[in-house]
Structure 1
């Protein structure tokens, strides 16, 4: 290919990343996005302008690279940038139909794109392109938003910065806001940026370094101003009885409340939860002004799109009993839903998107902390982080003035914005187990590990439970870490450890929807050689252990009121009478009947109970590797390394059963297609006629 042909081919993401302007932009974005004082997760955007070769004319063309829709500054890559021709973008001012139709301009951005690939342009593209500065940052720092949301924010901005940072009254993000900022920049060439009322900050510079310096100057100057000028107790004095409970008591209360709160927050659609008992949250809830401020809601669009316009706040002291808190939370939830529907009806127009759900995303409990909710763990966690940002904003605004967020009607215009609705519709469909929380015992190896991997691959959050702490931690790391999986160390013979494991699980994810009783051992001896200790140990881990785990699971699931699944990994040995297997076979038969008994008892709560009966799983099995394989091979007179093949040859399908095959059956029972099935055992044995269910 000739050089001219290469120029005309259009830049690939790799070539884009190699450009010095883009390299500087990405490095700046990463530095700014790495510090939560500068901007929140996935909030704000940055841009750079430069000259490139037009692939059609081979002449120079002025371009802008800007963070696209949905990206995060801290992890931004070249593929997350939108590249636009500035001549075409700025020509849109000539066809702009006015603020009432400014949303139409977003579709026009697509006609300004340069080259192939890249991210979709965001609503803030106009702000970056119309401001005549080579580099522009738009950020959501808590200190800047505190000034932006203060009742006298314009005066405070002038006092804080003099004339170097300008004030822009609240305007919804879009083309008109870009025009407003561009006009201010042109009229005040001495300015380095502006505070956007109710929203955030924008800064600019002639170089990437200067732009970053200006952004940080605005943020740090605002921080110092709030600290030096602000009063010491902006949230008021401490309310008697609302102080944080002692840590152990607080976390126990959180574990008891989490399933209840999650069930309330999931009335319209299932949600995953996140618990936060950080000092900032607990201090806010202990103060006299917390109810007034919480009722005002959040202000920055990035905040309330994730937290909803306001949280649900329990209006009881921390000293109230668990029963009192539970009853009151249910009452307040009904009130919240009615108020949210009224909010929607006050502001909805005939072309508004339908109401998306009336449940809270943030629930605040004095003395205990904050529960936040979302479609998955990351969304739930980020919602809580955004409410922490909002608390910082409230604290700053109240320290120097009074907190005055944007009007409720403006919040509705953004929450139910057609452009926001379109973004939601572009999201991929959820995976089958999305928003479900699973706990798998014996998940540190073998069948349990395979089940944990399959459930996580199908969208579930997974609690990896195993008495081997290192094994549990390793599997949780394999699954992607705390936004997907958490490890818990538990011996299923110990009631206290089981209760602690479920408490840890509900604090991590809000509750439990799916429990797999997989933990087990095996003893292979003739009757005469089987000791009472062998019998007791076998039954203690499998029969008693699965009973204890199921009892705790049922407690959580009934508190949630969302139904659920219990799955027992039983065995064909619960049906098939093999030699030298009295303790193991009897324990598996006990588990098999637990499935039937619990299916009959828990059905009224929407909890389904089913089982899986595998044949011997040799490869990848911790049980077989621990001695069971050698003993069973001796019983059948085959070499241990041939045991899997031996099992396969005695089946109708002549196939060996692997851990993944058992995991497939667990998913089949819980993935949604068998929603009306309970009390069932699925054989996963490649066809052992003697183990057919009758």
Structure 2
């Protein structure tokens, strides 16, 4: 690896790993150096710069765009002016060196045109606080003297690169600049010097804010944060409604944040005024929208009053957002992408943030925390003055941003869906969790064996949550559903899979055997369906419930009375709930598996040995035995059941259906 590249990656990761320096996926870094031309072999001056969409903290060589400096700098001679500067982004492609590498970002000109071997452009909260202060230019001089220069707001692009290049040339003592409403840029002759200059600007700004800032920039406390237990209960009660409102135009996944910064901001008198001003840094409002929705009631107000008010405020927000779009759209502007809020603030309870997946929802919340920190800093030493609304619109509905969205891969079929799978730690449940996750869903792995649930969830990262639940317990089911809601905002798809079986004849079946199997499968499915249906109805977005029943729900076999009766109960729950919940757009269907031996928790726990004894075969050959008695002569695996669950999610006009997945058992044909 080229030494300049190695130093650049080390510097980038060090800067990007500290949230005080820049936000997730925000900012970019570069290094200039030389490398052999692949054709002539002669040294060629190059620039390596973080490409579009990458994250500094995890940057790799593949995330760098590599450009020839001579060609990049020659673009200044053909630059058509600020009215056509967006055309220069396409011209960067003609400056690329070699094959591969990341796509150059809009900030490429800033790095290439500045006469310094190393350049950092970052979005530190302290730096943006100065950049978004009403008297930012005066503060910059007061804090830094002539070492850091103020650059008035300009949308990122080629002209901003020319501006910073000219400012550096005119200010030889300067180590960097404050970009009005945006962030900071620093430079150096070596990678170490550049990093030191970036940190010097950031830490100096932090120190100034700490030493000279007012202690209560957000004003006096008017709403105390609710106690943690009460806060979580209220958040869980409100989240499905808020998620449903935020998904009016486009379905969303949610994230709840109740950090000290958020709760303090929402407890103070000035938070409505400041929130209405919106965020400032382009990276912020691209993810948080121009402004949040703010509840104007205390979080502990009566729940019916809060929910009614949230509905009113949401309708007003949509009207105001549509008016914002209408004020600034011009012929050729991209179509409005949706009028729902990305951030909803509830005093005493916290922040609800939304996005197309869990990471996007979480990151949107993180960016609003950045915005709160910026507001605090600006208000502490001046007053918060973000860029003009018209400029925010130019960024939000920029053709270049629209092009970036078009380049993104299409969404997976279950993107934005939240699935709750019982018995998800093993067998059919684990296979179903993995399949739904692969299709884009967030998944809640619910199992009495928490270690097994955690093992499956750990494979899938932040899109999966493990919860411990005994489905026979009303309290545990309620708590598990609450955990799911707090993690993702709600529930859209339920798979009632938890089960067990004791293979005994009528005379050998005890009352405890009967009760246990009915408690887990009949009672458990009822409890899970009831609690999750409440959430789905509150969301107002429909949903679906899938019961993993059994061939034995319709086929009478020997030594199976308790299991078969419990499965028949589940099968009729499907019909009853399909009839009852259809008016809410909730579909209820079932799957009747048979002979799922390999990977099955039920068969491994003794059912397999009992069934093998009943049929007079060796236990390890039970799967083969079941396969041979089917019409297709094929063994049924957990993955086949998981595939059927997924297919049911695609049958959007189907409810009350039972699908056999048994390789063909004529006696269990549905009539």
Q: Do both share a fold (TM > 0.5)?
A: yes
* Distance in 1 between residues matched to 2:396 and 2:65, nearest whole Å: 24
From 21, 25, 32, the counterpart of 1:42: 25
Report the counterpart of residue 485 of structure 1 in structure 2: 464
* Distance in 1 between residues matched to 2:43 and 2:511, nearest whole Å: 87
For residues 451-475 of structure 1, the C-alpha deviation after alignment (integer angstroms, 9 at most, x for no partner) is 0000000000000000111011111
From 83, 86, 99, the counterpart of 2:66: 83
Matches within 5 A, 1:501-540: 501-540=480-519
Report the counterpart of residue 592 of structure 1 in structure 2: 571
* Distance in 1 between residues matched to 2:211 and 2:608, nearest whole Å: 71
Does residue 66 of structure 1 match 2:49? Answer: yes
For residues 256-299 of structure 1, the C-alpha deviation after alignment (integer angstroms, 9 at most, x for no partner) is 00000000000001000000111110110010000000000000
From 328, 341, 350, the counterpart of 1:360: 341
Does residue 276 of structure 1 match 2:264? Answer: no
Report the counterpart of residue 617 of structure 2 in structure 1: 638
From 659, 665, 671, the counterpart of 1:682: 659
Does residue 559 of structure 1 match 2:538? Answer: yes
For residues 219-271 of structure 1, the C-alpha deviation after alignment (integer angstroms, 9 at most, x for no partner) is 000000000000000000001xx111111110000000000000000000100
* Distance in 1 between residues matched to 2:627 and 2:230, nearest whole Å: 53
* Distance in 2 between residues matched to 1:75 and 1:276, nearest whole Å: 24
Report the counterpart of residue 247 of structure 2 in structure 1: 266
CA-CA distance at 1:353 after TM superposition:
0.3
Does residue 343 of structure 1 match 2:324? Answer: yes
Contact kept in structure 2, 1:33 and 1:72, CA below 8 Å = yes
Report the counterpart of residue 318 of structure 1 in structure 2: 299
Does residue 464 of structure 1 match 2:445? Answer: yes
From 371, 379, 387, the counterpart of 1:406: 387
Report the counterpart of residue 130 of structure 1 in structure 2: 113
Q: What SS does the corresponding residue of 1:172 show, helix, strand or coil?
A: coil
* Distance in 2 between residues matched to 1:387 and 1:146, nearest whole Å: 14
Q: Which runs of 5+ in 1 are unaligned?
A: 1-17
CA-CA distance at 1:181 after TM superposition:
0.1
* Distance in 1 between residues matched to 2:167 and 2:46, nearest whole Å: 22
CA-CA distance at 1:362 after TM superposition:
0.1
* Distance in 2 between residues matched to 1:665 and 1:338, nearest whole Å: 42
* Distance in 1 between residues matched to 2:225 and 2:480, nearest whole Å: 24
Does residue 287 of structure 1 match 2:287? Answer: no
Contact kept in structure 1, 2:595 and 2:627, CA below 8 Å = no
Report the counterpart of residue 331 of structure 1 in structure 2: 312
For residues 359-412 of structure 1, the C-alpha deviation after alignment (integer angstroms, 9 at most, x for no partner) is 000000001000000000000000000000000000000000000000000000
* Distance in 1 between residues matched to 2:298 and 2:629, nearest whole Å: 66
* Distance in 2 between residues matched to 1:165 and 1:215, nearest whole Å: 11
CA-CA distance at 1:557 after TM superposition:
0.1
* Distance in 2 between residues matched to 1:540 and 1:676, nearest whole Å: 31
CA-CA distance at 1:54 after TM superposition:
1.7
Does residue 233 of structure 1 match 2:216? Answer: yes
Q: Which runs of 5+ in 2 are unaligned?
A: none
Contact kept in structure 2, 1:151 and 1:401, CA below 8 Å = yes
* Distance in 2 between residues matched to 1:509 and 1:656, nearest whole Å: 36
Report the counterpart of residue 693 of structure 1 in structure 2: 670
Report the counterpart of residue 226 of structure 2 in structure 1: 245
Report the counterpart of residue 177 of structure 1 in structure 2: 160
CA-CA distance at 1:616 after TM superposition:
2.0
* Distance in 1 between residues matched to 2:375 and 2:589, nearest whole Å: 50
Does residue 577 of structure 1 match 2:556? Answer: yes
Q: What SS does the corresponding residue of 1:413 show, helix, strand or coil?
A: helix
CA-CA distance at 1:58 after TM superposition:
2.4
* Distance in 1 between residues matched to 2:610 and 2:508, nearest whole Å: 13
Q: What SS does the corresponding residue of 1:528 show, helix, strand or coil?
A: coil
CA-CA distance at 1:163 after TM superposition:
0.5
For residues 537-584 of structure 1, the C-alpha deviation after alignment (integer angstroms, 9 at most, x for no partner) is 100000010000000011000000000010000000001100000000
* Distance in 1 between residues matched to 2:392 and 2:53, nearest whole Å: 20
From 96, 108, 117, the counterpart of 2:100: 117
For residues 634-657 of structure 1, the C-alpha deviation after alignment (integer angstroms, 9 at most, x for no partner) is 111111111111100000001111
Does residue 199 of structure 1 match 2:199? Answer: no
CA-CA distance at 1:351 after TM superposition:
1.0
CA-CA distance at 1:57 after TM superposition:
2.6
Report the counterpart of residue 3 of structure 1 in structure 2: none
Report the counterpart of residue 283 of structure 2 in structure 1: 302
* Distance in 1 between residues matched to 2:453 and 2:256, nearest whole Å: 22
CA-CA distance at 1:499 after TM superposition:
0.6
Matches within 5 A, 1:397-436: 397-436=378-417
Does residue 156 of structure 1 match 2:139? Answer: yes
CA-CA distance at 1:322 after TM superposition:
1.0
Q: What SS does the corresponding residue of 2:432 show, helix, strand or coil?
A: helix
Q: What SS does the corresponding residue of 1:337 show, helix, strand or coil?
A: helix
Does residue 96 of structure 1 match 2:79? Answer: yes
CA-CA distance at 1:60 after TM superposition:
2.0
Contact kept in structure 2, 1:68 and 1:122, CA below 8 Å = yes
CA-CA distance at 1:52 after TM superposition:
1.3
Number of equivalent positions: 671
* Distance in 2 between residues matched to 1:353 and 1:529, nearest whole Å: 71
Contact kept in structure 2, 1:243 and 1:318, CA below 8 Å = no
CA-CA distance at 1:317 after TM superposition:
1.3
* Distance in 1 between residues matched to 2:597 and 2:341, nearest whole Å: 48
**TM-score normalized by the length of structure 2:** 1.00
For residues 625-672 of structure 1, the C-alpha deviation after alignment (integer angstroms, 9 at most, x for no partner) is 1001001111111111111111000000011110000000000001x2
**TM-score normalized by the length of structure 1:** 0.96
* Distance in 2 between residues matched to 1:19 and 1:261, nearest whole Å: 50
* Distance in 1 between residues matched to 2:595 and 2:274, nearest whole Å: 61
Q: What SS does the corresponding residue of 1:367 show, helix, strand or coil?
A: coil
Runs (4 or more) in structure 1 with deviation over 4 Å come to none
Report the counterpart of residue 603 of structure 2 in structure 1: 624
Does residue 615 of structure 1 match 2:591? Answer: no
